[in-house]
């Protein structure tokens, strides 16, 4: 995993600033003045759940921060709801929360693109 991360960082070049923000993402958006790429929301949700944080409250805080951000924000998220419904409670809870998180972000986004097999499908473009 470390090599994957290093590879992505090298591809981005020196013009990108990287911030590791496992839990408190909203303050980063609130303070931001430069375009921001958040990669990824599903990992952030995992971190929240494992830390015992209130995912709904944190999502509301993130949405509010995104709506008032002075800089453009691009969110990346993994689609986890297209497969079989998991048989264990934690996996089902994660799947449901990830779906609600993606819906909340898509509701405020100007553009939503679903990627499949490297091909973009524009779901929303205002």
Enzyme catalytic residues: 8
Is 113 in contact with 79 (CB distance < 8 Å)? Answer: no
How many CB atoms within 10 Å of residue 3?
7
* Distance, C-alpha 40 to centroid of its chain: 4
Q: What is the DSSP string of 54-94?
A: -HHHHHHHHHHHHHH-SS-EEEE----SSSPPPSSHHHHHH
Calculate ∠ Cα 103-99-50, nearest 5°. 125
């Amino acid at each position: 995993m470390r090599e994957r991360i290093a590879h992505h960082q090298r591809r981005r070049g020196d013009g990108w600033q990287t911030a590791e923000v496992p839990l408190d993402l909203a303050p980063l958006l609130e303070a931001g003045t430069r375009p921001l790429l958040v990669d990824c929301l599903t990992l952030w949700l995992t971190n929240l759940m494992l830390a015992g944080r209130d995912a709904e409250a944190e999502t509301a805080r993130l949405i509010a921060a995104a709506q008032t951000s002075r800089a453009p924000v691009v969110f990346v998220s993994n689609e986890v709801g297209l497969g079989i419904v998991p048989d264990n409670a934690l996996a089902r809870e994660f799947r449901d929360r990830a779906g609600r998180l993606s819906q909340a972000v898509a509701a405020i986004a100007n553009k939503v693109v679903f990627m499949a097999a490297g091909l973009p499908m524009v779901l929303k473009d205002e």
